[in-house]
Chain A
Amino acid sequence: MSKPYTLQELLVIAVAKEIHDYENVILGIGIPTTAGALAKSLYAPHATLMMESGVIDFEPLLPPNHIADAHSCRGFSYATDLFSAFTMTYRGFVDVCFLGVGQIDKYGNVNTTVIGDYYKPTMRLPGSGGAADFLSYAKRTVLTMLGGNFVNKLDYMTSPGYLGGGDSREKSGLFPRGSGPTMLLTTKGVFRFDPETKEIYLAQIHPLVKIEDIKKDVPWNLKISADLSETPRPTDEEIAFIRNFAPAQSAGRELSLELTIANMMSKAKKS
């Protein structure tokens, strides 16, 4: 029996396995950067990790705080600019990128801008950042949704997935052939997209989660893979790597923040 693991660790590993050796990878902050470090260490030693700020081919030693965090490594191979990082994606040199999701629809279109009315928002989210261009032009995109929702209609379409489904993305002529979201990771499972209809379906379910728990999050009749599998248990090696590299990631944002504030407070009182 291997070491007990946290849900966050399970998620990081599921994302890391989407990175293959020798690939060029654009990492977003949070789970993806830890996943990138894990992949580079265990599964994809020749992957080129990149951040859209122009930090190309870095070896992460710490989880970056943001996408321009050259403090997370000791040097890197190529310092370019943001413009070039995007045009290299446009030209097809980025194999896989990772994006967070606020709302997602049946065909993998993504909202990261606003919940409610655009001009009078119920909840104003960050916006596009790199998302719309990356989801347009990276060969593959892995989506992660921790706090977001499945919806029938996005409140705002920030980033293009498979548009109206079927061949509509292909037919628009705006995107590289075969590009688009390939996976959505949530706290309950892993979703993929039907190769024909481009409709999202449940491909993998995390341990201890029931299909009904997932179905009730989705406002349409969610399709389930005929060969639905369970997300594999983390190995000791994977757990040890993540916990050492990014202990706050293992603990999750809420707990790590609580413990950090408690620690800093007690230090402040002592001095």
Chain B
Amino acid sequence: MMNENGKVMSAKKAISKFVYDGDQLVIGNYTVGTCAELVFEVIRQRRKDFTLYSQSGIFDVEVLVGAGCVKRLVTTYVLRSGGRKGGSAVERALNAGSLEMEDYTNFEYNARMVAGMHGFSFMQVLEGVMTTDIFRKRSFMGDDKFRVIKCPYTGKDILTVPAANPDVCIVHVQRADKHGNAQYWGALGSVAAAALASKRIIVSCEEIVQHDIIQSSPHLTIIPAYRVDAVVEVPWGAHPTEVLGYYNIDFFMYALFTMANGTADGLKAWMDEWVYSCANRAAYIDRYIEKFGSSILDGIKAKAFYSAPANYGSAFTSRWDREGRERNMGLTMRELEKILKERGMLYE
């Protein structure tokens, strides 16, 4: 049974409590707003042997693979730093034989999460891919990467992918309440499906807000409280990637990372400085400001462009009107109780 405030904790505690060696780990975010601090904490705790799912395996996948946390990777898109002359942690790990990888299309990857989210064992995907090597080349999933079935209605061949139900999802959102209701807006991507497909969910957020903020904007909630295991408040939690309404991408830091990532030594040096030597996100930001000043961060802070509020109100919130009369029957409580008595409906 969950204590009311028991879900709010540090990134350190959340990762140590809910992420284990050998887990199927899914990065909830897609391209934007990467859960950078949760990823860094996973690396700092030297977790290993993950089967890592990431829809668009850019920054997050590179640092996790570079740190040696990942054994198997399921993705649709990876980063190569520095173009032809450069390299990537994924490429280096594939060549070293320390990483196995399955390629899917964006749609197929997302379909696996949607199937998992809804409790289905597979999902129909778009059959054109049967002509490609995405379908033919298979790694650790073998026959179970795709299977083809006959449609019982049309008799046509249908391409399917198996459901994914990762052990744990780490995901960054704009805001959440202490119960775990997580609100996210902007490019929805596959964020909700990745989280809801998973067995455990760690949410980090730019800010923890009062429950009534959530209650007045339930359309922004993508993960309901009862699914969430941990809530971590981390301002700048996605830096150097961007969070809509909070800050833009930090091109400067991202460029430093990309340049470093071209070689194994470069990536190691970058991670020594920005991941391993920073105990937490506050320390990371302090180091950043100490080294580069605060003008870059100030310059990427979001200016407000608020969504129009939705009106969740109704005509009244009690069956009794201002005169104490029941709105339909027109009776006061005393009058109603008198009638109940007269009709013999009250039992002593």
A87-B117, A251-B336 known; A267+B330 contact, CB < 8 A: yes
Q: Which of B97-105, B140-148, B239-247, B312-320 contacts A (4 or more CB under 8 A)?
A: B312-320
Tell me whether B181 and A78 are in contact (CB under 8 A): yes
Asked if A91 and B119 make an inter-chain contact with CB atoms under 8 angstroms apart, the answer reads yes
| Contact A7–B345 (Cβ < 8 Å) | yes
The listed residue with most B CB atoms (<10 A of its CB), out of A70, A247, A248, is A247
Q: A56-B224, A244-B320, A248-B329 are in contact. Are A74 and B345 (CB under 8 A)?
A: no
- When C-beta atoms are compared, the residue in chain A nearest to B215 turns out to be A75
When chains A and B are docked, how far (Å) is the Cα of A22 from the Cα of B346? 33
CA distance A208 to B315 in the complex (A): 41
Please tell me if A24 contacts chain B, counting CB pairs below 8 Å.
Answer: yes
Mark the stretch among A154-162, A189-197, A252-260 that contacts chain B: A252-260
Q: Which residues of A contact B119 (CB under 8 A)?
A: 87, 90-91
Answer whether A255 and B319 are a contact pair too, CB < 8 Å, given A77-B224, A78-B181, A267-B330: no
Given contacts A91-B119, A255-B343, contact A247 B348 (CB under 8 A): no
B 331-348 binary contact with A (CB < 8 Å = 1; else 0): 101001101110101111
CB <8 Å contact, A7 and B347: yes
The prevalent SS among residues of B at the interface is loop
Set A22, A91, A248: member contacting B1, Cβ < 8 A? A22
* Alpha-carbon distance A80/B181, docked complex (angstroms): 13
**In the complex, which residues of chain B have a beta carbon less than 8 angstroms from the beta carbon of A22?**
1-2
Q: A77 touching B181 by the CB < 8 A rule?
A: yes
Chain B interface residue count, CB cutoff 8 Å, equals 49
Taking the nearest CB of chain A, how far is it from the CB of B183, in angstroms?
A: 9
Contacts of B206 in A (CB 8 A): none
Answer yes or no: A175 CB below 8 A from chain B CBs.
no
Q: Is A251 a contact of B317 with CB atoms below 8 Å? A: no
CA distance A260 to B314 in the complex (A): 21
| Distance from B289 Cβ to chain A, minimum over Cβ atoms (Å) | 36
Query: Would A71 and B314 count as touching, CB distance under 8 A?
Result: yes
B218 with A75: CB separation less than 8 A: yes
Restricting to A7-62, which residues have a CB under 8 Å from any CB of B?
7, 10, 21-22, 24, 46, 48, 55-57, 59, 61-62
On whether A1 and B225 interact (CB within 8 A), knowing A22-B2, A255-B339, A259-B339, the answer reads no
A-B residue pairs in contact (CB < 8 Å), sample of 30: A4-B341, A48-B225, A56-B224, A57-B224, A62-B317, A63-B319, A74-B216, A74-B312, A74-B313, A76-B215, A77-B215, A77-B218, A78-B224, A79-B218, A84-B117, A87-B117, A91-B118, A93-B227, A207-B347, A244-B333, A247-B326, A247-B329, A247-B333, A248-B319, A248-B326, A250-B336, A251-B345, A255-B345, A263-B328, A263-B329
Residues of B within 8 A of A (CB): 1-2, 4, 117-120, 177, 179, 181, 211-212, 214-219, 221, 223-227, 312-320, 326, 328-331, 333, 336-337, 339-341, 343, 345-348
